[in-house]
Structure 1
Amino acid sequence: MSQVSPGRFAGKVVVVTGAAQGIGRAVAARVAAEGAHTVLVDRAELIHDVAAALAGTSADGATAVGVTADLENYEGAGGAIEEALGLRGRIDVLINNVGGTIWAKPFEHYAPDEITKEIQRSLFPTLWTCRAVLPHMIGQQSGVIVNVASVATRGVNRVPYAAAKGGVKAITAALALEAAPHGIRVVATAPGGTEAPPRKVARGPQPEGDREKAWYQQIVDQTIESSLMKRYGTLDEQAGPIAFLASDEASYITGSVLAVAGGDLG
């Protein structure tokens, strides 16, 4: 982990969703190293092992706890936020990281139920958790919501995912207007392609056959070509901007979506 700012989140309660692996786990590790009391939310039971490991490496006095929840429905999202409040008493920062392409193929090959599942995976967790945490943040007249969108809103072979992440960008812009009078900032990053270890919990089925593998390769090729740097980013390169936007250093930034994709603006 590079460029850690010790004490930047000291005493703050930070909820990170989708924290069992990938960008979410990297962000949780980053803010914990900077003093945050973290609540890690994921539907995978793996989250409890991640939280336990994080608790052992957090900055002095910082704590970490895992919560299992399915954020694709309001009951799960509301329950996760209530559990976090019960454990920590307040929420200063919510980082919405749940989402990810399930299938990779031209739009005409998507079945209707697959389209629905993509939207449920990559739009509703952010929508529901924002709704669940908002009354609490309004009550304390402070808070930060950082949503994780994507530059894949302009990309090949994942139109439903693009629609969902476009919705995340819209949530960010519209909610920032409503939340600002209550001292709440709402911001987002839009990651590009990101290198990560093999997933312990798969997002969806692996490509089968030459045609599906070729469709996925088209995504990889287009992602690299669209980046001015002609490469994928690293987990640290994604976690750093998210942590910055969540911190008091970004106190005059709201309603903005920061592309973190080597020059690809999506």
Structure 2
Amino acid sequence: MSQRFRGKAVVVTGAAQGIGAAVAQRIAEEGGELLLGDRSPLVAQVAETLTSGESAVKSHECDLETFDGAQGLIDAAQETFGKIDVLINNVGGTIWTKPYQSYGIEEIQAEINRSLYPTLWTTRAALGTMIAQGGGTIVNVSSIATRSINRVPYAAAKGGVNALTASLALEAAPHGIRVVATAPGGTSAPPRAVPRNTAELSEQDKRWYQQIVDQTTESTYFKRYGTLEEQAAPIVFLASGEASYITGSVLPVGGGDQG
């Protein structure tokens, strides 16, 4: 196994399950020291399973929809490692799936809070540290859903992540900081331990959700969802030194769907 992250301090958000947990596992296997952030207590269990003699893996419960939560995570990383070599912003995900005119005002705000602000806040909190230490890498997790149906607020949030990636890369490059992103497509994963939407779905809700499944599958060249491993690998590559001449880019990982 490659040791691309030996001696590197890495923060992964949204690490309690799904893509975030898969990314954390890869980086731990490659020698990285990790701080896993999530608002679910399950993040501590993930950290425990990844801790070995080779890697130090810590966890921190935080609400990254607030700047205070993001700052607390970055402060914990500083206290634990004394530096932040890599920040992987993975928090986000559609809460509802329905035509835009069917979204309530509070639901629209909740989608933006969930899928844009955690990346904005955590990046802002970490940036000063990276500038002071003379470099670092920020990997944002966006989505090919910037062109999709039945999740316009989520698409807008991830479009904001793409714009953040492109714009901040220009500002941060003189400080030795790379800012990149992947845009995952549909991804097969175990049922979420903490669902984004706890309400029981109506028959109409199920039909709207099925429409995005059908569109996502049809828009890929392979006519299937990707795996967690297929999403984690590009993120880990972009976070590594092997991608040292890549910045400002958003890499679609959607089986040919460019988003």
- Is TM (by shorter chain) over 0.5? yes
The whole-number CA distance in structure 2 between the counterparts of 1:207 and 1:171 is 34
Please say if residues 19 and 25 of structure 1, whose CA atoms lie closer than 8 Å, have aligned partners that are also in contact: yes
Q: Which residue is equivalent to 1:108?
A: 101
Q: Which residue is equivalent to 2:49?
A: 53
Please say if residues 207 and 213 of structure 1, whose CA atoms lie closer than 8 Å, have aligned partners that are also in contact: no
State which of 70, 74, 85 in structure 2 corresponds to 1:81: 74
Q: Which residue is equivalent to 1:166?
A: 159
State which of 40, 47, 52 in structure 2 corresponds to 1:44: 40
State which of 48, 61, 71 in structure 2 corresponds to 1:68: 61
Shift of 1:123: 0.0
TM-score (norm 1): 0.96
Q: Which residue is equivalent to 1:31?
A: 27
Shift of 1:207: 5.4
User: Are residue 250 (structure 1) and residue 218 (structure 2) matched?
Assistant: no
Q: Which residue is equivalent to 1:119?
A: 112
Q: Which residue is equivalent to 1:16?
A: 12
4+ aligned runs moved over 3 Å, structure 1: none
Q: Which residue is equivalent to 1:220?
A: 213
SS at match of 1:133: helix
The whole-number CA distance in structure 1 between the counterparts of 2:158 and 2:235 is 16
The whole-number CA distance in structure 1 between the counterparts of 2:17 and 2:150 is 24
Shift of 1:80: 0.8
Structure 1, unpaired ranges of 5+: none
User: Are residue 263 (structure 1) and residue 259 (structure 2) matched?
Assistant: no
Shift of 1:88: 1.1
Letter of the 2:128 counterpart: P
Q: Which residue is equivalent to 1:132?
A: 125
SS at match of 1:94: strand
Letter of the 1:53 counterpart: T
The whole-number CA distance in structure 1 between the counterparts of 2:31 and 2:135 is 19
User: Are residue 177 (structure 1) and residue 178 (structure 2) matched?
Assistant: no
The whole-number CA distance in structure 1 between the counterparts of 2:201 and 2:218 is 25
1:163-214 Cα shifts (integer Å, max 9, x gaps): 0000000000000000000000000000000000111111113552221100
1:59-91 Cα shifts (integer Å, max 9, x gaps): x53110000000001000011100111111110
State which of 166, 180, 192 in structure 1 corresponds to 2:185: 192
Letter of the 1:173 counterpart: A
The whole-number CA distance in structure 1 between the counterparts of 2:113 and 2:188 is 24
State which of 2, 7, 15 in structure 2 corresponds to 1:6: 2
The CA RMSD over aligned residues, in Å, is: 0.8
Structure 2, unpaired ranges of 5+: none
Shift of 1:229: 1.0
Please say if residues 103 and 205 of structure 1, whose CA atoms lie closer than 8 Å, have aligned partners that are also in contact: no
The whole-number CA distance in structure 1 between the counterparts of 2:62 and 2:17 is 15
Deviates more, 1:85-94 or 1:205-214: 205-214
Please say if residues 102 and 205 of structure 1, whose CA atoms lie closer than 8 Å, have aligned partners that are also in contact: no
1:115-138 Cα shifts (integer Å, max 9, x gaps): 000000000000000000000000
1:108-161 Cα shifts (integer Å, max 9, x gaps): 100000000000000000000000000000001110000000000000100000
Letter of the 1:55 counterpart: T
SS at match of 2:63: coil
